[in-house]
Structures are given as C-alpha cells and as structure tokens.
Chains A and B, each alone.
Chain A
Amino acid sequence: MFDRVDVFVREVRGLQTEAELGDALAAITRDLGYRYFALTHHVDVRRSSSGIRIHNYPDGWAEWFDEQSLSADDPVHRASNLTSVGFAWSALPQMIALTADDRQILERARNHGIADGFTVPAHVPGEAHGSCSFAGAADDPLKDGAAPLLQLVGAFAFEAARRMRRGRFAPAPVRLTDRQRECVMWAARGKSDWEIARILGISHQTVIEHLRHARERYGVARRTLLAVHALFDGTIGFLDVLRQ
C-alpha cells in the first residue's frame, strides 16, 4: 500500500485548489478503509477565516460542531496537541482526562457515523496546530497496518493545504528588539517589572516602556497574552521560559 500513498503524494504536489485536494483525500481515505476525513487547523472557523478546513463529514455534523464553537475544546484536537504521532480515538482516555462534555461530543459523532477514528497531528512552529482525521471505518483498518499509511497521508495532505493557504495565514511577523524580547522572556517567567529591572540592570521605568512597546507591537493589552503570543510565534522559546 505504500505505492498508493506515493501516488497520492505525487498527485497533491501539483494540485492548486482545496476542492481538488478534498477529492484526492476522499479517494485515498476510501482506499485505506475509511469513509470520512477532516483536515483542519484547530481554530474556531467562525472567528478565523484563515484556518484550513477541508472535510467530507456528513451534513449536519460540521454545522453543529461550529455552532458549539467546539474546535479548540474538541477532545481529539486537545489530544493531538500532545503528540506528533497519529493515534486511534480509542486511545483518547489514556491521553487526556475526558470530561462529560467530551464524552457527549464523541457520542454525538458516533451517532453521525463518525466513529473509530484515527487522527494525525500536524504542528508547524509559529502557526495554529492542525490535524488530519480519518473516521467511519467499516472494519478496523488499523488492524491491517493502516496507521503508518495514514500518518504519511496526513502529513503530506496538511502541507499541501498549508501551501494553498499560504499568505492568508501569514501576517507580517512581529519583531521585537533584543531588550524587549529579554523583558518578555522574564515576564513569561513570572518576574515583575521591578525584578526584571534588577535582573537586566536597567531602570524600572525602562522595563515598563519595553513591555508597553512589546504589547503594542502584538496589539495586546496584557502581559499574559504578550507572553503567549511571543511563545506562539517563536520570539521566545518554551525551553527559555521553563529553564530552571
């Protein structure tokens, strides 16, 4: 079956539209033993028009899902933030603590015929997390070794969709000065303005100014959001913040 995936990879390389990619994904999804696929960025699509979402889920499901603004809370999406390796939905209870709402979402999906899914996470630094899911299998394709095939299909399909969306979700990068970045890094580590001033050997007022300018560049009002934005786009790194 690797040959089938190889053909898919060559095919999507030349595709230009998301509709064409959707057709190619539908075909290989069927060939690998599933009915449905959903290639998506984990963002609320009602608030963010730039997020990728291509799927062939049954009518009614996607609408309900959007009405509930579920994307960021979806247990499958939460679990896929933890790993890059594809996982079966049956493994969810071992990956995250499922809430009553989560169980309801999974039950409702099952009622729509979206069950026994397999999700391939896709993470590109500085961009929204995403994934490619496959669901609604008649038998159990994983038993027949579908997991590595799905892993490749998910990875290459996500990159193809990303190429098609490029430019639409790439706002001009925010650039901070070295001093601003240092202040943000220490703020992310929980230091107060006064403490940052002592650490960097600059005045308290200067730290306040650096952080105010940094917030302005990101267009946010709070230092918590400033830290989150700077981590998200890689201006500061998780390990820099977590380092003891």
Chain B
Amino acid sequence: MIIVEKGCANPIADRSLRSMFEDRKRVFVDLLGWDVPVLDGRFEVDQFDDEHASYVIIAGRDGGHLGSARLLPTTRPHILGSLFPELCAGACPADPDVFEITRFCLSRQQDAAARRQVRNRLVSALAWYALERGIRRYTGVAEIGWLQQILAFGWDCRPLGLPRRFDSRVLGAIEIRIADDTPALLAANGIWDIAGVPAVRIAQAA
C-alpha cells in the first residue's frame, strides 16, 4: 500500500515511519557509507525530518516499510538549496509547487526482484502524488550513476547545473517535470505500477 505521511510528529510510535528510519540507516549509513546523523544507533534522522517534510511510503500489509522517499518544500530549507546551491547554474528552484525528493530508499530486507517492484511503485506513487497534490516539478540531488537511472525511468528530466565532485562522489542536480503525460512516459519504460495498490493517507497535524 501507499502511505503519505505529513510531518513526523511521532516517528517512533508509527510502525511505517519507524521501520523507514531504520531502513534509511541500513541503506544510507551501513550500505552507502554516508556521513549523516544516526539516532539511538538505529534510526537515520536529520535536520530536515521535521513537521514540514512529507513521506511517500510503500508499505507491506503489516505496515512495514518497503520503500520511501522524503519530500521537502523548496520554499523552506532543503538539501539542494541549503547544502548544494552550487549545483544549480542559476537560482535554485524555490516555489510552492516545486518539491525536492530526498532519501529515496528501498528496504534491504527484500530480494532484488522485490526491490525493483517496490522501486517502480515508489516512482509511480511519487508521480501520482504530485498530480494529486498539484506539484509541478520535483528537484533532486543525485550521485551521477543514480542520476542515469532516474533518467531511465522515462519521465521528463532536465539538469539544473553542472555536476561537481564532492570528495569521492560526483553529484548533480536535476528537475523532473510532472504533467498529465508523466504516467504514460513511465508506463513506456515498464515503471508505472500503481493500479490496484491501495492508497492510505494519514493526515497528521502539519
């Protein structure tokens, strides 16, 4: 199922959010070796995980986290604008209908075939949510190898500036335009996979 959470007022009490933060630690800290804060040795939570963040989560029947992405409003502090503004050739996009996708995460507790299906559902859910919510563009910072995979989903991507090297990693910034044709573009690449997936929206005090 697809769960959209607004803010994380009580992350540890909510099963989906709790297992998401645990999986984020396994992926970004244990697997990818990012230098990001870890809470209680178990949860990867940073300064952007606040009441302004939204989370699109693909969860199993028991609510356990399978994959997720965090959406940050670009009108407030976010990764591109606050940490990597030099990745934009001009001013970083900052608009009420532009959101930044960060922490795209697929749980390691599933095999490769299952991860790929969850990836497709998550990409589809992000496009669906944008259309539903009136988001017209997503932005994101990606390592260059991941950037090629984001392009290969088939949606309409543009670079925001030149990639740069940060220590051992080369990062680039892109924007993804979401419009009525986005589902068809994703479908042409075999990515669109959302039919029959129940959507649950848990509205919290935002």
Choose one: B31, B108, B159; the contact of A6 (CB below 8 Å): B159
Interface-facing stretch out of A109-117, A120-128, A214-222: A120-128
Judged by a CB distance under 8 angstroms, whether A9 is at the interface is yes
- Whether the Cβ atoms of A151 and B170 lie closer than 8 Å is yes
Q: How far is the CA of A13 from the CA of B143 in the complex (A)?
A: 22
B-chain residues with CB within 8 Å of residue A93 when the two chains form the complex: none
Q: How far is the CA of A240 from the CA of B31 in the complex (A)?
A: 13
B-chain residues with CB within 8 Å of residue A234 when the two chains form the complex: 112-113, 116
A-chain residues with CB within 8 Å of residue B158 when the two chains form the complex: 6, 9-10
- Whether the Cβ atoms of A151 and B161 lie closer than 8 Å is no
| Main SS class of interface, A | helix
Judged by a CB distance under 8 angstroms, whether B40 is at the interface is no
Interface-facing stretch out of A26-34, A54-62, A99-107, A152-160: A152-160
- Whether the Cβ atoms of A151 and B188 lie closer than 8 Å is no
Q: How far is the CA of A236 from the CA of B158 in the complex (A)?
A: 32
Given A84-B148, A151-B170, A239-B108; 20 other pairs, CB 8 A cutoff: A2-B89, A2-B159, A3-B89, A84-B170, A85-B170, A122-B148, A123-B148, A124-B148, A125-B116, A125-B149, A148-B164, A152-B162, A155-B151, A159-B148, A159-B151, A159-B152, A181-B111, A185-B111, A234-B112, A236-B113
Q: Closest 4 interchain pairs by CB?
A: A84-B145, A237-B112, A148-B162, A159-B151
Q: How far is the CA of A96 from the CA of B151 in the complex (A)?
A: 28
Interface-facing stretch out of A35-43, A64-72, A162-170, A196-204: A162-170
Number of interface residues of A (CB under 8 A): 34
Q: How far is the CA of A166 from the CA of B161 in the complex (A)?
A: 28
Judged by a CB distance under 8 angstroms, whether B75 is at the interface is no
| Nearest B residue to A10, CB-CB | B158
Choose one: A6, A149, A166, A235; the contact of B189 (CB below 8 Å): A166
Q: Distance in Å from the Cβ of A84 to the closest Cβ of chain B?
A: 3
| Nearest B residue to A13, CB-CB | B156
B-chain residues with CB within 8 Å of residue A162 when the two chains form the complex: 152
Within 8 A of B (CB), among A1-54: 2-3, 5-6, 9-10, 13
B-chain residues with CB within 8 Å of residue A125 when the two chains form the complex: 116, 149
- Whether the Cβ atoms of B159 and A156 lie closer than 8 Å is yes
Judged by a CB distance under 8 angstroms, whether B60 is at the interface is no
Residue of A2, A176, A236, A240 most packed against chain B (CB within 10 A): A2
A-chain residues with CB within 8 Å of residue B161 when the two chains form the complex: 2
A-chain residues with CB within 8 Å of residue B148 when the two chains form the complex: 84, 122-124, 155, 158-159
Q: How far is the CA of A181 from the CA of B111 in the complex (A)?
A: 9
Scan A201-244; emit 1 where CB is below 8 A from any B CB, else 0: 00000000000000000000000000000000011110110000
